[in-house]
Structure 1
Amino acid sequence: MAIQHETELYEPIKRFYEARGYTVKGEVRHCDLVAVSQDEQDIVIVEFKKTFNLALLLQGVDRMQSSEQVYLAVERNRSKKGAVNQRWGELTRLCKRLGLGLLTVTFYKTKKPIVEVLCESAAATQYITAPVNKPARVSSRRKNRLLQEFNERSGDYNVGGSTKRKLVTAYREKALNLAKCLHEHGQLSPRRLRELCGYSNTATMLQHNYYGWFARASRGIYELTPVGLAALEEYATVLREASATAQQDA
């Protein structure tokens, strides 16, 4: 059963990691899927493609700068046994040489997809070979930025593998909460908005006005624009889920 879009890989792999105790979110700093353990010691990045190709391999190598555990994930199509991208033994050996993990997802008509681990990432298995095979050095800056973006999102509002879609990033969530406060309280100063929302960069967000949601009503006072009001309607589900999550955590 051939999949049409790589986003179809997201839910099976998300469930796979959630069953192992990870929190999972999609499209975090250009990574299709990021799974973080409860103690935040394990940060797993998974990149998707419908089939194994060079672009996927290059993505995986690049992501190794952000985490010690990087996996590539593709569909395992039972009807393409002879295809180059289905030569699992050779692809597994290639991934091992690079320190990458490899996952496959097999889809069925009448039962749930099955996720298989063909090889673990180098960090997960403590894979030790010649120096040329050592995993790429992780950039602490990139890793910390990835974890910060992950933690600042209240939930998982994106589907990994998406293209040409507006992503709900931590920044967009903050902007939505500022817009919500302006809608509920009317015109406010940056200081009052900061008190209500708790964002230290509130004034900067209002001044930059990246999405066009805010307007200066008078000196030091901001109001919501029609575009901002439309955004509240567009992202109403995100705001409801974020509010529910906040209440659970309180």
Structure 2
Amino acid sequence: MKETLKPKEEDLYKPIQRYFKRHGYDVYGEVKDCDITLVKEDELVIIELKLNLSVDLLIQATKRQRMTESVYIAVPKPKYNLRSKRWRDTCHLVRRLELGLILVSLNGSRKKVEVVMDPTPFDRKKSLNRNKRKRQSIMTEINGRSGDYNIGGSTRKQIMTAYRENCIQIACYLQHAGELSPKALVQLGTGNKTASILTKNYYGWFERIRRGIYILSEKGKNEVEEYPDLLAYYRKNIPTTKTEKDKL
């Protein structure tokens, strides 16, 4: 059985050398600790080679940016899907650092070089504008919470979202009043998603006893007790409206 040789960093050199020579560059290996240097007239390009795209490689490449703006990192082409979120996130980081990225296919007798991106200035303003909706969704979520009820970095724990908190608020008011309509709940400050929350009843906490009137289900009575801090907060701040006075 033929043994498969593990690739080495130097296996990347020849394909890259041939590629850039075809594009008119003079190519030099190992100059002042730089893996590859390219020269065309007054242009200086530095390429750092590694078998894996690691933090160490990114640090090394950003140090080379002290000498020139044109710095690439070159790695073997990954075996995982290049359309995956993992790869998109990797490319974003490389682009954010204003580095170029080269992939080298080492399979087969003919090695293929692909320049995925050139080193260009990162347009932070353009990036922020492109992600306005994501920013707004974060602000909406924050504005929908009454406080901080999660521990950052925790896993396998139920996250207190604005939606869940809204459900707890509705449950608290129903527990206090016994039965209420969506309109009455909105008047108490449960927000414009109240009717949708009651209708969809995602957690099974609510029960419609007649048209337009809801109570807290047995499941709801039991499960909302798992959130004593929020219950105490909403019980303390239950507003009183004419509608609720009439109901009580």
Question: TM-score range, shorter-chain basis?
Answer: 0.3 to 0.5
Higher relative contact order (CA 8 A, sep 6+): 1
What is the TM-score when the length of structure 1 is the normalising length?
0.46
What is the TM-score when the length of structure 2 is the normalising length?
0.46
Question: Highest CA radius of gyration, 1 or 2?
Answer: 2
